Amino acid sequence: MIATADKPGSSSVIIQLNAQDNVAICSRGLAPGEAIDNLNVKSVVPRGHKIALTGIAEGQAVRKYAQIIGYASQPIAAGDHVHTHNLAFQTSAPEHTFCAERRETELLPADQRETFEGYVRADGRVGTRNYIAVITSVNCSATAGRLIAEHFTPEALSAYPNVDGVAAFVHGTGCAMAANSEGMDNLQRVMWGYAKNPNCAGVLMVGLGCEANQIDFLLDIYGIERGPLFRTMNIQLMGGLRKTVDAGIGIIKEMLPHANEETRQTVDASHLTLALQCGGSDAWSGVTANPALGHASDLLIRNGGTAVLAETPEIYGAEHLLTSRARDEKTARKLLERIAWWEDYTRINGGSMDNNPSPGNKAGGLTTILEKSLGAVAKSGTQRLEGVYRYGEPIDRKGFVFMDSPGYDPASITGEIASGCNIAAFTTGRGSVFGSKPAPCIKIATNSEMYNRMSDDMDINAGTIVDEGASIEDVGEQIFRLLLDVASGKPSLSEAQGLGDYEFVPWQIGAVM
């Protein structure tokens, strides 16, 4: 059966996503000689890969999602497997119709909004977790930061049930880089953003003392004041590593009773800022999990919340779908400026925007960055694009927004958390085991086979959309409900397995000197 409806049925062998498409996705592996309705299979087509529905001449556009995903690099017959051997990437130049599809968000009245149990901070921000953060300014203080945090085992924290943990956020940079550069700006925005994230009740910043990324300079730039729950120190002034670690442990012990006084309160969902992410994508990402997460994003936004799309290289070729939803032309052009920056950045570094998809993506049925991007954008839902932000820049608007970042998942989510996200949702087709702190992360499987194989890691199975005929809306509702539960304290599966201590990866740009 060839399915042409927007919701693929569980009996569909070949799924055509739009009537304009000349390829379809195979819900099971196909062998040469099989006949599917009036289509004769010409070659082996693995599950999740594309099959040609008609003959496609060399140089002709190949369409999926009613969009161009590449061009035939050789003649393709109806029934042929369409993949990297016969489908080529060409530089994208989509037509932009700025703001043509923007629409006002229909917000629910405050008394009708969904709620969760969160930590209300003194300035009105709301956390989903209650951590004390140890943030290092430079790699040279990373060991000190880890040793301080590692002292606070679950046993050591047993007297403080309202504290989720002491987490170290350490990295491999902070010096030997230009002081006035994009790389330093990124790092400082990330440090400031983690220090201000509502999921952190207290912060200890640890430096070496002589590094380029000076803590005092950071505090001056961002107007951060020291206090009982915001402390700083450096190894050189403290007299060495051991003395720094001992003093740091003492400082955290002083913070713990204050942090433990924080208790969860009922608040509405407008206080959630959701990081949208996909990694280890496959051909089902744009069919199941990403559209379902997009529906959950729409639900959150209707409840007054914020959803943050990122991974700029992974919207490449689909950016016209976002500029058409922009609130105004200025916002649309700001997004295109970031796309142009990335084109130049990859060029001067000897790369290509089509360097992505990865080998795993391709094994899962994806072929070009255009195809991957069109599926990735589905995470954003349908609401108006309210703003475009630099990496780690504070998000000051509600609704759907975009934050510039690499497609590399740890670096991307690090930026989103720095921008203010207090929870994350991560779709995956190949099987990512990502987790993050201080913002909890749920993972959504695109297909049932992987979900069953990695059920310890996958919170939700969106594969039911294909296998069982579940609707995108039903799975989206399931995702939204789980986000509320996790925001209220239910551990995500990645949290339950202890993930999140090594996924702090600020985006490095520029020369190391």
Taking every pair of Cα atoms in the chain, the longest distance, rounded to a whole number of angstroms, is: 79
Phi, psi torsion values for 264, nearest 5 degrees: -70, 140
pLDDT digits (tens, 9 = 90+) for 211-268: 999 999 888 888 888 999 999 999 999 999 999 999 999 999 999 999 999 999 999 9
385 φ, ψ (degrees, to nearest 5): -80, 110
Strands 14-15, 2-3: pairing kind: parallel
Cβ neighbours around 107 below 10 Å, total: 15
Nearest to 492 by CA among 440, 436, 445: 440
Looking at residues 415-439, what average pLDDT do you find? 98
Q: What is the pLDDT of residue 92?
A: 62
Structure tokens at 6: 């927007």
Mean pLDDT value across residues 454-479: 97
Does residue 4 have a pLDDT over 50?
Answer: no
pTM for this predicted structure: 0.95
- pLDDT, residue 2, reads 38
Q: What percent of the chain has pLDDT over 90?
A: 88
**pLDDT over 50 at 362, yes or no:** yes
Ramachandran angles phi, psi of 220, nearest 5°: -65, -45
Instruction: Output the pLDDT for position 5.
Output: 38
- What are 95-147's pLDDT values in tens digits? 788 888 877 888 999 999 999 999 999 999 999 999 999 999 999 999 999 99
Residue 72 has pLDDT above 70, yes or no: yes
Q: How far apart are CA 352 and CA 371, in angstroms?
A: 15
For the chain, the straight-line distance linking the first and the last C-alpha, in angstroms and rounded, comes to 60
Tokens of 149: 């945090």
Selected residue with higher pLDDT from 428 and 100: 428
Domains of the chain are 1-88 (2.30.130.110), 131-261 (3.40.1400), 275-496 (no CATH)
Q: How confident is the model at residue 11 (pLDDT cuts 50, 70, 90)?
A: low
Peptide bond into 440 cis (omega under 30): no
Cα 285 versus chain centre, distance: 14
Residue type, 41: V
**Judging by DSSP bridges, how do beta strands 441-445 and 460-461 pair with one another?**
parallel
Instruction: Compute CA distances 464 → 9, 440, 455, 493, whole Å.
Output: 10, 24, 14, 19
| Higher per-residue confidence, 221 vs 281 | 281
